[in-house]
Structure 1
Amino acid sequence: MNDERVTLGFVCVQNAGRSQMATAFAERERSRRGLEDTVHILTGGTQPAEEVHPEVVEAMAEVDIDLSDRVPKKVSTTDLNNATIVATMGCSTLELNADVEVRDWALDDPHGRSLEEVRRIRDEIQQRVSTLFDEYASER
């Protein structure tokens, strides 16, 4: 991630759980680190759900992130092909251009899980996003 401006993509099938959490944590990290002008964040799903999973909204509220007004959306391969790094959440069969770094985070789907399980997934996502930003910062 050594270009001046980077695009980070966070993708899963429904864009209703893991990718929503990753996007929210990335937005928080971008703001905390003052990278609003250099980091663009892209999120979406291949088959978006109707709403963000309620258990995800509840778990994220515990860390002062409100996802209650977020709506899952579709993401195009064209948009993802313009990204620097795309993190898939463990459910992707994406085939992107060779210059896009694809990382499969292989995370459990939080949908229908207990709040305790969703918290574990949330915390793992938060750590992975923070690590991603640390990598970016070390290359600048």
Structure 2
Amino acid sequence: MSTPSVLFVCVHNAGRSQMAAGWLRHLAGDAVEVRSAGSVPGDQVNPAAVAAMAEVGIDISDQRPKVLTTDAVEASDVVITMGCGDACPVFPGKRYLDWALTDPAGKGVEAVRPIRDEIEARIRGLLTELDVAR
């Protein structure tokens, strides 16, 4: 079986999608190809998201927001949107999930922790669905 590919999309690609990508890389290693992008990328990853992830031993400080491209969607098996509305192109044969998560933009690390923990739980569930050993 080929390696499944997951794309996380949010508006700024600076908080939720970066934390989700960090969790998936951490928990799945090379078993899943991980991408993230934003419909209107920010200029840096949210420092509170970086700090919250560092608390659980996951370093996302080297990540940079990227613009969502049609190619990234086409190359992914699963596309998980997080509040990007209609900005994400839809292709037949792809699996789309929409995760309703609070936007961590402008919030401190205390407010980001519960978002981080909810993302972890969803990632663990996704790995089970994808049948990827952790």
TM-score with structure 2 setting the length: 0.90
For residues 23 and 73 of structure 1, the distance between their equivalents in structure 2, rounded to whole angstroms, comes to 13
For the 8 Å contact 1:23–1:43, the answer to whether it is kept is yes
Q: Give the match for residue 103 of structure 1.
A: 97
Once the two structures are TM-superposed, the CA of residue 137 in structure 1 deviates from its matched residue by 1.3
One-letter identity of the residue aligned with 1:80 = V
Q: For structure 2, list consecutive stretches of 5 or more residues without a partner in the other structure.
A: none
User: Number of paired residues?
Assistant: 131
Structure 1's consecutive aligned runs of 4 or more residues displaced over 2 angstroms after TM superposition are: none
For residues 46 and 32 of structure 2, the distance between their equivalents in structure 1, rounded to whole angstroms, comes to 26
Residue 22, structure 1, aligned to residue 20, structure 2: yes
Q: For structure 1, list consecutive stretches of 5 or more residues without a partner in the other structure.
A: none
For the 8 Å contact 1:82–1:100, the answer to whether it is kept is no
Q: Give the match for residue 117 of structure 1.
A: 111
Once the two structures are TM-superposed, the CA of residue 91 in structure 1 deviates from its matched residue by 2.6
TM-score with structure 1 setting the length: 0.86
For the 8 Å contact 2:5–2:75, the answer to whether it is kept is yes
For the 8 Å contact 2:73–2:89, the answer to whether it is kept is no
The CA RMSD measured in Å over matched residues stands at 1.5
For residues 77 and 110 of structure 1, the distance between their equivalents in structure 2, rounded to whole angstroms, comes to 26
For residues 92 and 82 of structure 1, the distance between their equivalents in structure 2, rounded to whole angstroms, comes to 20
